[in-house]
Chains A and B, each alone.
Chain A
Amino acid sequence: MRWFLAGLVALACTAAAGRPSAWGRNVTPAALLPVDEAFQLLPPERRGKAVHLEWNVAPGYYLYRGQLVVEVLSPPGARAGKLRLPPGLPYQDEHFGKVEIYRGLLQADYVLPGRVAAPVRLRVQYQGCADLGVCYPPQTREVEAGPSP
Chain B
Amino acid sequence: MRLTQWVLVVLVSLAAAVGGFWAARVLLVDGGVEPGDPAPAFRITDLHGQPRTLEEFRGKLLLVNFWASWCAPCVAEIPLLVEAQALFGARGLQIIGPALDEPQGVKPFIARFGMNYPVMADFAAGDAANRALGNVQGYLPYSVLISREGVILHIKLGALKRGELHALIEQHLRT
Contacting pair A14 B158 (CB below 8 A)? no
A100 to chain B, nearest CB (A): 13
For A19, what are the chain B residues with a Cβ–Cβ distance below 8 Å? Answer: 24
Contacting pair B70 A30 (CB below 8 A)? no
Interface centre among B34, B72, B75, B100 (most CB of A within 10 A): B72
From residue 1 to 57 of chain B, which have CB atoms closer than 8 A to chain A?
1, 6, 9, 12-14, 16-21, 23-25, 28-30, 33-35
Q: Give a binary string over A104-148; 1 marks a CB under 8 Å from any B CB, 0 the rest.
A: 000000000000000000000001010011111110000000000
Contacting pair A129 B72 (CB below 8 A)? yes
- On chain B, the number of residues with a Cβ less than 8 Å from chain A's Cβ atoms is 41
Contacting pair B73 A29 (CB below 8 A)? no
For B6, what are the chain A residues with a Cβ–Cβ distance below 8 Å? Answer: 6
Q: Bound complex: CA of A13 vs CA of B6, how far in Å? A: 15
For B155, what are the chain A residues with a Cβ–Cβ distance below 8 Å? Answer: 22-23, 26
Q: CB within 8 Å of A: which residues of B?
A: 1, 6, 9, 12-14, 16-21, 23-25, 28-30, 33-35, 68, 70-76, 100, 134, 137-141, 155-159
Q: CB within 8 Å of B: which residues of A?
A: 2-3, 6, 9-11, 13-23, 26-30, 32, 34-35, 64, 67, 93-96, 127, 129, 132-138
